[in-house]
Amino acid sequence: MPHRITFTRQITQKDKARFMRHTSLSETSSYNRTPCLEWTGFKDVNGYGGFQFEGYHIKPHRFAYAAKHGEWPTYVLHHCDNRACVNVKHLYSGTQSDNMQDMIRRGRANRLAQTGSRNHYAKRTENEIIELRKIIDSKLFSDKQIANAYKMAQSGVGQIRRRTSWKHI
């Protein structure tokens, strides 16, 4: 979700210290021979982390990027594919297209991870639908590409686009 928030102050050493208290080095996940640094602090009911800064819940990896580079790019992406990771060496600022490619790739990985469980269209979570909407609305991919990545029927993609299903989201 692109952030359009303008912060009124810079990130201080004190903020960074507060942030670092909620992280731990991963023993299992790494990228380019450096371990992931995982967020252990607040997570919402959907498993998304949040760090309080200026009264906002900022995604921890976005905060980590801003703390390091002093800027808030629209998209901060993971090289390591570990959503909980806040290791600045594993983060990069990308374009909207990069972000969509990343979502498609992750969607595919998630689908593969769910093999064996019933992954019926109707059982998708609201978060997945929100993600799908972003991908669909970006017009960067065909219905067929999206359907393949998400292991769903092409007609299902059309229904989401036309809001004949999941209208409430």
Q: Determine, following the binding rule CB under 5 A, whether residue 86 of this chain makes contact with Zn ion.
A: no
In the complex with Zn ion, the residue whose CB is nearer, 29 or 159, is 29
Contact residue for Zn ion among 19, 36, 99, 107 (CB under 5 A) = 36
Q: Looking at 42-50, 55-63, 72-80, 95-103, which segment touches Zn ion (CB under 5 A)?
A: 72-80
> What is the spatial distance between Cα 156 and Cα 121, in angstroms, rounded to a whole number?
8
Phi/psi-derived region of residue 49, left when phi > 0, alpha when psi is between -120 and 50, beta in every other case: beta
Per-residue x/- mask for Zn ion, residues 131 to 160, rule CB under 5 A? ------------------------------
- Token pair belonging to 39: 């967020």
Q: Determine, following the binding rule CB under 5 A, whether residue 64 of this chain makes contact with Zn ion.
A: no
Q: Determine, following the binding rule CB under 5 A, whether residue 23 of this chain makes contact with Zn ion.
A: no
Question: CA dist 1 to 25, 48, 152, Å?
Answer: 26, 12, 23
Q: Determine, following the binding rule CB under 5 A, whether residue 77 of this chain makes contact with Zn ion.
A: no
Query: What b/e sequence results for 21-47 when a residue is b if at least 16 CB atoms lie within 10 Å of its CB, and e otherwise?
Result: eebeebeebbbeeebbbbbeeeeeeee
Q: Determine, following the binding rule CB under 5 A, whether residue 82 of this chain makes contact with Zn ion.
A: yes
- In the three-class reduction of DSSP (H, G, I as helix; E, B as strand; rest coil), residue 41 is classed as coil
Are 38 and 23 in contact by the 8 Å Cβ rule? The answer is yes
Q: Looking at 43-51, 78-86, 93-101, 141-149, which segment touches Zn ion (CB under 5 A)?
A: 78-86
In the complex with Zn ion, the residue whose CB is nearer, 67 or 85, is 85
In the complex with Zn ion, the residue whose CB is nearer, 36 or 160, is 36
> What is the spatial distance between Cα 41 and Cα 51, in angstroms, rounded to a whole number?
8
In the complex with Zn ion, the residue whose CB is nearer, 87 or 99, is 87
Chain contacts with Zn ion (rule: CB under 5 A): 31, 36, 80, 82, 85, 87, 90
